[in-house]
Chain A
Amino acid sequence: MELLAASTGSYPRIGNRPEQQRHRQAYAQLERGEISNEEFERVQNGVTREVIEEQVRAGLDVVTDGQVGWYDPISHFARKLEGCEIDGLLRFFDTNSYFRQPIVTGEIRRREPILEGEFIFAKGVSPKPVKPVVTGPYTLAKLSINRRGVGLAELVHEFARVIAQEVSELAKAGAELIQIDEPAILKNRNEFGLLKNALEEVAAGKGKAKLALYTYFGDATPLYDKLVKLPVDVVGFDFTYSPGLPKLIARLGCEKGLGLGLIDGRNTKLEGEREVIEVLKLIAPTIGSERVYLNPSCGLGEYLPREVAFKKLQNMVAIAKKAGELI
């Protein structure tokens, strides 16, 4: 079994050092109309390059573009879709970050590719494989206001059609592993059927790429046996909410790749090597797949200061190396 150190999604855009404030300053200048969209995009690309470089320097095997250009994981997609309007701010799950809530007023259709350009840019500047991260159709539908007079199932289906197109383009553009985030399912277990249908639709377009389904901000234990049967190659879990999960995996095993969110993406405390390795030792014998990822429990961009995010990743890489020798 090979253990790789991976990013889970977003990465902090700004840090304490003056030169790490560029994104914030440019954003403010853009809002005041002092710079053009093109100038802002140049800064944004520079920062994307920088956060990729930082992930590589931390020693990650798989990086992301840090989602530097995303306002939030929901409206980043919805604002480019026909049939969606963007409404006010709402708390993102139980975190202290906010997202702009979409209102679905018409049939959801894609106007243009959403992630393709970002991925191609990131891939071009990264010496390590870049994993694009896509918010899943169920979560997009669940966090939207539905003014359509159709059921949630129809909304999920229409978002799934969009995300399937995204996945297919990302695969064609060279993505080897594509992550689909579905945090909303953990608190709505009775709607699992909707998630299943949606993922079947999305998986149909993946081509040669592998799909990873990640959930976080909730206990995944009650859904574990169902999640590992979905048509994806990797399932990712947030262990900070799921204290019973290591034992459950040890008991039930796992034939799929695993994304082990054993690194708390929402706390500045650095994980101890021993506690993480203990869990890895417990579950390693029951994992059927050849490849397992050690990663933060969620993206770091909204939850940690930049300095701490870097240290977290460095610490995680050290643990992964140590564990690789032991297991």
Chain B
Amino acid sequence: MREKLKKLGLKLPLLPTTTVGSFPKPPHLLEARRKSAAGQLDAGELHRLEEQTTREWVALQEEVGLDVLVDGEMYRGDMATYFAKNLEGFKISGLVRSYGNRYYRKPIIVGEVRWRGPITVEWWKFTQGLAKKPVKGVVTGPYTMMDWSFNEYYPSRREACLALAKALHEEVKALAKAGVKIIQIDEPAISARPEELPEFAIGAMRTVTRGVDAYFISHICYGAFEFIYPGMLELPVENFDLEMSNSELDLIELFREHLFSKDLSFGVVDVHSHIVEDAATVRQRIQRALEVLKPEQLWIDPDCGLKTRTREETVNKLKAMVGAVREVRGSLKS
């Protein structure tokens, strides 16, 4: 897929480094979000704080030396609810239990899902305006939006998913029109019901990406990959961003049995652990990936969004990652 990147005018080194999307929000921003939700802080002030924190994260990503940047999602809460709030056809539910004492609010589809206008485009423009390196667009995918929402309107999961795909296609088009060259479609839920992958999840992704000139990545995590591989290779994207370190790398064995035919963003640091991986661990993980993939196929990133880590853990994990990648790049050249 190096061809496609070249055609889009993107010059990336071997083993490009990136992140999945979210960074931790600093305590003062969390507090501001709480106040804003309670009506005690005006939207303009919250927006100003979000911009300020985004600036800091862009500077940090450049300082660490990542090749493809993200906006850090300072302005998003839950990845499904954020898009639901900005599309037509949704309401937000009361509290639903996740586990232990954790509760969340879930989107409810109550009418026809429609794209009202650009959702993430302004944030992308703002971020790209601060950065020399390319910034990815990141959009939650139709299957995950469907699976993580109640559906009171469409007669089936398939129809809800396809309606979402049409709406999100508009967002993806708007991003491409604004100049975004790399677009990531997050589909963490895609392995929820493996039989639905060929039935309609692949078709939904085709609807999202069709006719849009960009390099597409799909991020999939907490997956039961053994049930959807190799079928998932049919998803019309150039790159899969998969959680690898937390799954103890058993995907490598799957790839040995059936060749991985796309580019792969390989998660090399665990986002659920406080422990910062040392460069040697990361290097070994990359080398295992290179047993089954060509260097030209491989991107390197963390397993998932980093929003649950502290700022310090985030920076140290990314430094370990970039350091290891530089060493491996050196050995690949020689």
A15 with B99: CB separation less than 8 A: no
Most chain-A CB neighbours within 10 Å: which of B93, B97, B192, B222? B97
Q: Given B95, B100, B101, B150, which contacts A267 in the complex, CB threshold below 8 Å?
A: B150
A303 at the interface (CB under 8 A from B): yes
Query: Which residues of chain A are within 8 angstroms of B151 by Cβ–Cβ distance?
Result: 267, 269
* Residues 68 to 123 of chain A near chain B (Cβ within 8 Å): 71-72, 89, 91, 94, 96-99
A268 with B95: CB separation less than 8 A: no
Query: Which residues of chain A are within 8 angstroms of B98 by Cβ–Cβ distance?
Result: 96-98, 302
Query: Which residues of chain A are within 8 angstroms of B100 by Cβ–Cβ distance?
Result: 27, 71
A306 with B152: CB separation less than 8 A: no
A16 with B95: CB separation less than 8 A: yes
B271 to A: closest C-beta gap in Å: 14
- Contacts A15-B94, A31-B101, A97-B98; A268 near B222 (Cβ below 8 A): no
Interface of B is mostly: strand
Query: Which residues of chain B are within 8 angstroms of A267 by Cβ–Cβ distance?
Result: 150-152
Query: Which residues of chain A are within 8 angstroms of B150 by Cβ–Cβ distance?
Result: 267-269
A302 with B96: CB separation less than 8 A: yes
- Contacts A14-B103, A24-B103; A268 near B97 (Cβ below 8 A): no
Query: Which residues of chain B are within 8 angstroms of A94 by Cβ–Cβ distance?
Result: 192-193
A71 to B: closest C-beta gap in Å: 7
Query: Which residues of chain B are within 8 angstroms of A91 by Cβ–Cβ distance?
Result: 222
B150-166 near A? 1/0 per residue, CB < 8 Å: 11100000000000000
- Contacts A71-B100, A89-B99, A268-B108; A308 near B192 (Cβ below 8 A): no
Q: List 18 A-B contacts (CB under 8 A).
A: A12-B97, A14-B97, A14-B103, A16-B95, A24-B101, A24-B103, A28-B101, A71-B99, A72-B99, A91-B222, A94-B193, A98-B99, A267-B150, A269-B152, A302-B97, A302-B98, A303-B96, A307-B94
Give B residues with C-beta under 8 Å from A.
Answer: 93-101, 103, 106, 108, 148, 150-152, 192-193, 222
Question: Which 8 pairs from chain A and chain B are nearest by CB?
Answer: A305-B94, A98-B99, A269-B152, A27-B101, A268-B150, A94-B192, A16-B94, A302-B97
